[in-house]
Structures are given as C-alpha cells and as structure tokens.
Structure 1
Amino acid sequence: MVPLDTTDHYTFQLSDKVTRQKVTFKNRFGIKLSGDLYVPKNIGATALPAIAISGPYGAVKEQSSGLYANQLALRGFITLAFDPSYTGESSGEPRHISSPDINTEDFSAAVDYLGIQKNIDRNKIGVIGICGFGGYALNAAAPDKRIKAVATSTMYDISRGAAKGYYDKKTSEERTKEFVQINEQRWKDAENGTPAYGATGLANVPENAPQFVTEYAAYYRTNRGFHPRSLNSNGSWSLTNSVTNMNAPILAYIEEISPRPILIIAGEKAHSRYFSETAYESAAGLKELLIVPNAVHTDLYDKIDVIPFDKLAKFFKQNLK
C-alpha cells in the first residue's frame, strides 16, 4: 500500500488550461453526491456541451473518471466526474455498497445538475461510464432521453458478471449456493447491527493470481492509482453487496437508447472485452465498437497515450449539437 498524507490527492495532473471545482448534488433517493466540475478556461459567455463521467467500479473521482474529465475539458467540454452513492465523498450509509438502481440513478442526477448550470446547454449533455459504470451509464441512457450520447470505456456489466460469473460459467447450483451464503451473512449483519466487509481485496495478491487481478493491483495499490478513499485501493465491498446485482439485469432495454448514438471502447487483450462486444451486439441504431490494439482492461483507466480521447471528443462534438 502507498502511504499518502492527504485525501485531496489526485492520481493525475490538472491541466493549466482547465479549472476544477468541488460540487455536490442530490439524486432522487436524497443521497448527496460529490463531484468535481472541470471547465475549460476562457470559455466566454457561450453555453457549452457537458459530459458526466463515473467509474471504474470501486474507484473515486480522483482516479480514472477525473482523468477523463480533465482530458475532455481540454477538448472543449464542461465535465463532471463524480463519486457514486455510498462511496468516496458521496453520502449514503452503510458505506461501500452498490445498487444497479441507485447507481443508474446517479448518472441521471448528474444530468440534473449539469442541466441547470448557466454555462451549460442542457440539450447537449452526454455521459461516459468506465468499467462497471459503463453498464450503469447504458442503463441510465435507455430511459433518460436527456442523455444525447453515451460512451463506455473498458466496460463491465456488473449484473451479468455477478449473476453468471466470468464468461457466463456460473452454474445455477453455484448461484443458489452464493445466495444461501449471502442469506446467512444477512442474519449475522442483522444480529450485529452493521454490515460485514471482507479483507482489502487487492492488498495481498498471490503470485498465481489471474493476470487481470495482478493488473488491478498494479493500478489500485501503487503510486499509479492508489487513493485512500477508493475501496479498490483501501477497502472492500460489503459481503452482501452482490445480491441485488445478481438479481437485476441492467441491459435489458439497451435497444431503447436508439436513435441516440453509442460508442463502446474496449482493450483488445482485456479480460472484460466480451462485455463490450455483447453490449454492442445488443444495441440498436447508431453504434460503434472501438477495440484498442494490445490494451488490457486497466490500460484504459489512465494511460493517456492509449485511451482514445480524440475519438471520444469527436464522438461527443458530432452528437452533442
């Protein structure tokens, strides 16, 4: 683990052509979300297009989403990187839980906030979801027609992964066994009055761990991406966290994003690539799947020379107009 003296640490350098301001806003569940608003300097009086960004799953806005926001602000957008409910500086108790419903709502709440800012054109708002928040971003865009364009990067379908396991190999017997374990844990949590958490998931990765786990640790547990508020760096999800994702498919209505455009970006060598490919196949209308050569899942978290920011900027400039 990397020791840090301040929780204001960011894992990237803010551009001198961009300003960053802490903001808060509430979702429809009353949870106060914390975000960083990135604004290009010297924009004048023109109302600009805006993009709300969140993810990866288990990360905070000082990590990958903030890096994306900074880069896209450099390219002419007002951007909002935000911590999802129950994580980072956002409110919600107990801590370190996720919900396909609430985390989908978080994106629409971000659109609410952006759309009432005087320097933003509310008819030109898009969203980007990174890793697990790619799935939630697509889920938000289906019913929220205010979202004019949606992009995902190194996407996970958290619900599918939780319900079916990697590459859909989890059997019905394994799924039932997992539910029974969660049920037993709920009895314990009810008796104790607080949820239980596992050990810090990436703290002690064994040498024989799958390569993608090693790649996660190389981001979250080193100077490259460590942040003390990131549960992937410094904590874990609750032991009962997966239950609602296991029982709530989130991409059932992905076709309803059409005719609005979708850009799906994945690494050629990412273990998660199949999530992006399935989402692309299931989507209708204007859609594009961009495979980044030789990239693994975490390369698209922070490697500025690998992440296709110019492509993202072009996509949103063409579609937020």
Structure 2
Amino acid sequence: MVGSTDIYAEDFSAGVDFLGSQAYVDKERIGAVGICGSGGFALSAAAMDSRIKAIATSVMYDISSMGNDMTGEARFEMLDQLSQQRWTDFENGKPAFQPTFPEKPVDQIPEGLDPVSEEFFTFYGMDRGWHPNAFGNVTSTSMLSLMNFPSLAHINEIAPRPILFIVGENAHSTHFSETAYDNAAEPKEIYVVPDVNHVDLYDQVDKIPFDKLESFFTEKM
C-alpha cells in the first residue's frame, strides 16, 4: 500500500463530494470523523476543504510527524536511503513492502514486541481486527512523502470550525492529540474517555463515546 499524505486527505474530500451530491444531505452540515491515523488526515483535509464544517478525531495519530522527527545528517541519510530504494523498486518491478502483521490471524502475541506494537497486534494480528488487506504498513519509499509533506502544517487555519479531540485515558497516542490541540485555534476541545487504551476506541462499542460525538456534531453544525 502506498502511503501519501495528499491521497489520504483527498479521500476525505472525495467523501464530501459524494455526500454533497445526495439530495437528502445538507451541504452546509457535513463533518468528518477520523480514527487513529485518519484523525490526522481528517484535520489535514479540513484545513484545505472549507466544506468540512466540524471535525472529530479519536485516538489521533499524526503519522507524518513520525517521519519528521529527524534533523540534519540523520534526516539526509534517511532521505538518501529511501531515494536509492526507488531505483531498486523500479528494477524489481515492485515496491519494497514489509508487513507488520501476519497473513493469517494468530492466537498468541509474538514475543519481544514493545508495548505499543503489542497493543496494535492484539487488534490487527488477531481475529479481533485482522483483515487480509490490512498488514499494517506502507511501501518503504512512502516515507519520502510522509517526511516531505506534514499533514498538520495548517491546522490553525481550520478555525472558526470546531475540532473535538477524543483520547483514551491510557492511550499511548494521547500526545499526538495534545500537540494538535496546542497548535489548533479555538474552538477546540479534548475529551478523555476513562479506563481505555488506544485500540479500545477502535471497536469497543460500550466504551466509544457515541453520545459525545452526537452532541458535538448536533451542537456545532
């Protein structure tokens, strides 16, 4: 799977295109919800697409920031390595891709994983959330796009449209939402769901704050 900050944001705008074409949809009351990495891309889309009137993210990840934490020589070396990989991909006729999760769901978590990887594995690597098209990675050279095009560079321009950041009390991803919150302009809100980790807010319907999402979009649009 190719990873592209622009393509991911465009997917949200394409969704707005479709919704707005439906006779039963009020074009002035279209919002966006993004979970995990899609939270960052929903915000990126809203920064350029004024048709998105309110945005809610849940356990947001700013994936592009993970490719921009290097500076100086280390950043140049990474960019050079990935640039050279493009030659190899072209010669091989296919891009390098290293899956994170197994081709079939497993019953046990592999040994030696760090806590974050272990948490993701409980979802994507097991029956709970395994899918044949979700191996948990992008092509190696996709990192070039993520390093060159930060998703949230214009988050402050979303205002005066409101943003709701939903985080889990025990979620390892909370710092992404806190950073985005600090960089966004008002109106904005962080809502903490007690006693949940990151992946709990993927599929645990008894823990996902649907009532908060409903009230947010009802009040703000």
Task: State the alpha-carbon separation in 2 of the partners of residues 206 and 228 from structure 1.
Answer: 19
Match of 2:62 in 1: 157
Answering whether residue 85 of structure 2 is matched by residue 185 of structure 1, we say yes
Structure richer in helix, relative to its length: 2
SS in 2 for 1:239: coil
Identity %: 50
Q: Is there any run of 5+ residues in structure 2 with no aligned partner, and where?
A: none
- What whole-Å deviation, never above 9, does each CA across 1:261-312 have from its counterpart, x for those lacking one? 1000111222211110011111112110112223211111111121111100
1:192 Cα deviation from its structure 2 partner: 2.0
Query: Which residue is equivalent to 1:281?
Result: 182
Specify the code of the residue in structure 2 equivalent to 1:131. C
Deviations 1:202-224 (A, max 9, x none): 23964221111111111012121
Deviations 1:5-26 (A, max 9, x none): xxxxxxxxxxxxxxxxxxxxxx
Q: Secondary structure at the match of 1:306?
A: coil
Greater shift after overlay, 243-252 or 150-159?
A: 243-252
Task: Measure the CA separation in 2 of the matches of 1:258 and 1:189.
Answer: 41
How far residue 171 of structure 1 moved from its aligned partner, in angstroms, is 5.0
What root-mean-square deviation, in Å, do the aligned CA atoms of Structure 1 and Structure 2 show?
A: 1.6
Question: Of the candidates 145, 151, 155, which is equivalent to residue 250 of structure 1?
Answer: 151
Q: Matched residues in 1 for 2:216 and 2:21: separation? A: 23
Contact 1:160/1:249, CA 8 A, preserved across alignment? yes
**In proportion to residue count, which structure has more strand?**
1
Q: Distance in 1 between matches of 2:168 and 2:71?
A: 28
Aligned-partner Cα distance in 2 for 1:127–1:231: 25
1:208 and 2:108 aligned:
no
**Larger relative contact order (Cα-Cα within 8 Å, sequence gap ≥ 6):** 2
Match of 2:53 in 1: 148
- For residues 197 and 287 of structure 1, the distance between their equivalents in structure 2, rounded to whole angstroms, comes to 38
Contact 1:202/1:216 (8 A) holds in 2:
no
Query: Which residue pairs with 2:11 in the alignment?
Result: 106
Match of 2:195 in 1: 294
Paired with 2:124 and 2:33, the residues of 1 have a C-alpha distance of 21
Aligned to 2:135: 231
Counterpart of 1:163 in 2: which secondary structure?
coil
In the alignment, the residues of structure 1 paired with residue 216 and residue 143 of structure 2 have an alpha-carbon distance, to the nearest angstrom, of 33
Counterparts of 1:1-321 in structure 2 under 5 Å? 96-164=1-69, 170=70, 172-198=72-98, 200-203=99-102, 206-232=110-136, 236-320=137-221
Residue identity in the other structure for 2:43: L
How far apart, in 1, do the equivalents of 2:147 and 2:77 lie? 13
Q: Deviations over 1:28-85 (max 9, x none)?
A: xxxxxxxxxxxxxxxxxxxxxxxxxxxxxxxxxxxxxxxxxxxxxxxxxxxxxxxxxx
Letter in 2 for 1:177: E
Q: Secondary structure at 2:67's aligned position in 1? A: helix
Extract structure 1 runs of 4+ deviating beyond 6 A.
none
Residue 116 of structure 1, CA deviation = 0.6
One-letter amino acid matched to 2:115: Q
User: 1:55 — aligned with what?
Assistant: none
